[in-house]
Chains A and B, each alone.
Chain A
Amino acid sequence: MERVLKILFFALVVRPIVFVVLGLNLRGKQNLPLEGPGIVVANHNSHLDALVLMSLYPLSRLHKVRPVAAADYFLKNRFLAWFSKNCLGIIPIQRTGRMRKNELFAGCHEALDRGEILILFPEGSRGNPEELSEIKRGVYHIVHDRSDTSLTPVMMHGLGRALPRGEALLVPFNCDVIIGPQLPEAETGEQLVEAIKASFLDLQQYCITCRQTGDKSQQ
């Protein structure tokens, strides 16, 4: 049932919006992991980010793709919780409170054990539109003793203009989705954070909606 709901939601709502109202300048689609266990690590600008990434997957694989999302936000009321669980299939993370690392990421590990693909935004929250904020260590805690798990960086740009934080009006814009090659295994958390940051900046140069000219303060 969950599976059907998710497929219907993506086929009838998300895909038409992503491909008609928005538009993707997609690069490196061959890098997208279709088989789990794997983690797609992307920068975060908008609620649309996870939807766009998930719409890249064939409908038949969609049930294997799970966005990791903040519990305090996505389980905030009953409707949103039902929607997040059934239409998106999120893995909730408790951002607040003091949980031990193992407990905190238990849901992620279970999903990876089932061969699923996580979508994770290491910046945490959406931040200012189109600005990279600091990358958090969470990813490292998930992958550091799982060498079976692939780590794929994705840089997105433009969605923060289409639907930034605190806005309800979706304005059509094309967006870049640049999928990079798998990241190598990292020894330490800092190393991984650095590798992700470097790969984001590297992928950013392929974004065509990323304007090099023009006054920064106006954007």
Chain B
Amino acid sequence: MWDIPEHSFYAMLVVFGLLVTATTCRLILARVKPEKDYTELRQRIQSWWWMIGILFVCLIVSRTTAIILFAFISFLALKEFFSIVPTRQADRRVLFWAYLAIPVQYYLVSIGWYGLFIIFIPVYLFLFLPMRMVLIGETHGFIHSAGIIHWAVMLTVYCLSHIAYLLMLPVQNAAAGGMGLVIFLLFMTQFNDVCQFIWGKLLGRHKIIPKVSPNKTWEGFIGGVLTIALVSGFLGPFLTPLNFKFSLLAGLLISGSGFIGDVVISSIKRDLEIKDSGSLIPGHGGILDRCDSLIFTSPLFFHYLYYISY
């Protein structure tokens, strides 16, 4: 009935297996140590079920549905960004135009117009927005505002839309299909967060950037990078057109850039003196808190893949 490529189907099963394992572990923990409070862990795992469930359903239903899902995620992320950063009251109408970039960008994705997809935001929108700002006539705080608005659109719309474009690339690994690429990127990015966290907990001593994120250590980073590169090396040929060697490199790229995305969003939150960017996803915070690494890994993985295979 549904047309799920074989390898992608197995990958989904593995992810569900991991979720079941996580849920089981939590239940055992709650049984063994009932005195501790596991609310956050429970919420976190529960939210994972929802996020993964929604993603897989959209991927399975149709390519268009999945693209709409990513457009909606971009919208939520951009809204969250604009809600926490200081923008001038006068710029409301500029922000409105920035929101309108989302349907346009994702429409370009859905028709597969690569040439315009790649330049629409950095050329046309980035030149249009300051013009709209000039028309308002308020020059006080102009640079500040222009910087914030452009960067927000860059991160949440332009970068994230690359995930959706993975679905439009001509299929080279028929056993995995376009959704194989998406699952690979999302899984490796999120798994990287987990690995860096676990290695940091196990061995962490030397802090990388104590001012931004005191829990980030060299041990966690290096452990994460090595684990991800290795896992990616074996998983890549299964889900992407890349061979072992190039998949290994893709893992290095995802791990390194995922780390950067994570700490960049952390810096934004530090600057604004907030802990979470929102409360949309129970146990995780806001959507930016969950998409932080993805913002950096998606365009980099996309262009790496595009360069190697297309």
Chain A contacts to B: CB under 8 angstroms: 23-27, 129, 158, 161, 164, 167, 169, 171-175, 208-209, 211-215, 217-219
- How far is it, in angstroms, between the C-alpha of A209 and the C-alpha of B286 when the chains are bound? 12
Residue B140 is within 8 A (CB to CB) of chain A in the complex: yes
Contact A173/B83 with A23-B280, A161-B92, A219-B89 known, Cβ cut-off 8 Å = yes
Residue B141 is within 8 A (CB to CB) of chain A in the complex: yes
- How far is it, in angstroms, between the C-alpha of A211 and the C-alpha of B274 when the chains are bound? 9
Q: Is the CB of A219 within 8 A of B86?
A: yes
Residue B79 is within 8 A (CB to CB) of chain A in the complex: yes
Q: Is the CB of B89 within 8 A of A164?
A: yes
Q: Is the CB of A23 within 8 A of B76?
A: yes
**CB-defined A-B contacts under 8 Å, sample of 30:** A24-B279, A25-B278, A26-B279, A27-B279, A129-B89, A161-B89, A164-B89, A164-B92, A167-B92, A171-B95, A171-B96, A171-B99, A172-B82, A174-B79, A174-B84, A208-B84, A208-B277, A208-B278, A208-B279, A209-B83, A211-B85, A211-B272, A212-B272, A213-B271, A213-B273, A215-B86, A215-B141, A217-B140, A217-B141, A219-B86
- How far is it, in angstroms, between the C-alpha of A24 and the C-alpha of B273 when the chains are bound? 19
Q: Is the CB of A218 within 8 A of B278?
A: no
Q: Is the CB of B83 within 8 A of A212?
A: no
> Which B residues touch A212, using CB under 8 A?
272-273
Q: Is the CB of B82 within 8 A of A219?
A: no
Q: Is the CB of A169 within 8 A of B86?
A: no
Q: Is the CB of B88 within 8 A of A219?
A: yes
Q: Is the CB of A208 within 8 A of B271?
A: no
- A-B complex: 9 closest residue pairs judged by Cβ atoms: A214-B86, A174-B83, A218-B141, A211-B86, A25-B279, A209-B83, A208-B274, A172-B79, A173-B83
- The listed residue (B83, B95, B276) touching A158 by CB distance below 8 A is B83
| Chain A proximity of B130: nearest CB distance (Å) | 16
| Chain A proximity of B288: nearest CB distance (Å) | 11
- How far is it, in angstroms, between the C-alpha of A167 and the C-alpha of B80 when the chains are bound? 21
Task: Determine chain B's interface SS by DSSP, over half rule.
Answer: helix
Contact A23/B89 with A173-B79, A209-B84, A218-B141 known, Cβ cut-off 8 Å = no
Contact A218/B145 with A171-B99, A209-B83, A211-B85 known, Cβ cut-off 8 Å = yes
- The listed residue (B88, B145, B273, B278) touching A174 by CB distance below 8 A is B278
> Which A residues touch B140, using CB under 8 A?
217-218
Chain B contacts with A in 74-119, Cβ cutoff 8 A: 75-76, 79-80, 82-89, 92-93, 95-96, 99
Residue of A nearest to B275 (CB): A208
Residue B144 is within 8 A (CB to CB) of chain A in the complex: yes
> Which B residues touch A129, using CB under 8 A?
89
| Chain B proximity of A170: nearest CB distance (Å) | 9
> Which B residues touch A23, using CB under 8 A?
76, 79-80, 83, 278, 280
> Which A residues touch B273, using CB under 8 A?
212-213
- How far is it, in angstroms, between the C-alpha of A24 and the C-alpha of B99 when the chains are bound? 18
Q: Is the CB of B144 within 8 A of A218?
A: yes
Known A171-B99, A211-B86; 18 more pairs at CB < 8 Å: A23-B278, A23-B280, A25-B278, A27-B279, A172-B82, A173-B82, A174-B278, A175-B83, A212-B272, A213-B271, A213-B272, A213-B273, A215-B141, A218-B86, A218-B141, A219-B86, A219-B88, A219-B89
- How far is it, in angstroms, between the C-alpha of A174 and the C-alpha of B86 when the chains are bound? 13
Q: Is the CB of A172 within 8 A of B274?
A: no
> Which B residues touch A172, using CB under 8 A?
75, 79, 82, 99
Residue of A nearest to B279 (CB): A25
- The listed residue (B86, B87, B99, B277) touching A213 by CB distance below 8 A is B86
| Chain B proximity of A29: nearest CB distance (Å) | 11
> Which A residues touch B141, using CB under 8 A?
215, 217-218
Question: Which residue among A26, A27, A213 has the maximum number of chain B CB atoms within 10 Å of its CB?
Answer: A213
- How far is it, in angstroms, between the C-alpha of A219 and the C-alpha of B271 when the chains are bound? 16
| Chain A proximity of B6: nearest CB distance (Å) | 36
Chain B contacts with A in 35-61, Cβ cutoff 8 A: none
> Which A residues touch B82, using CB under 8 A?
172-173
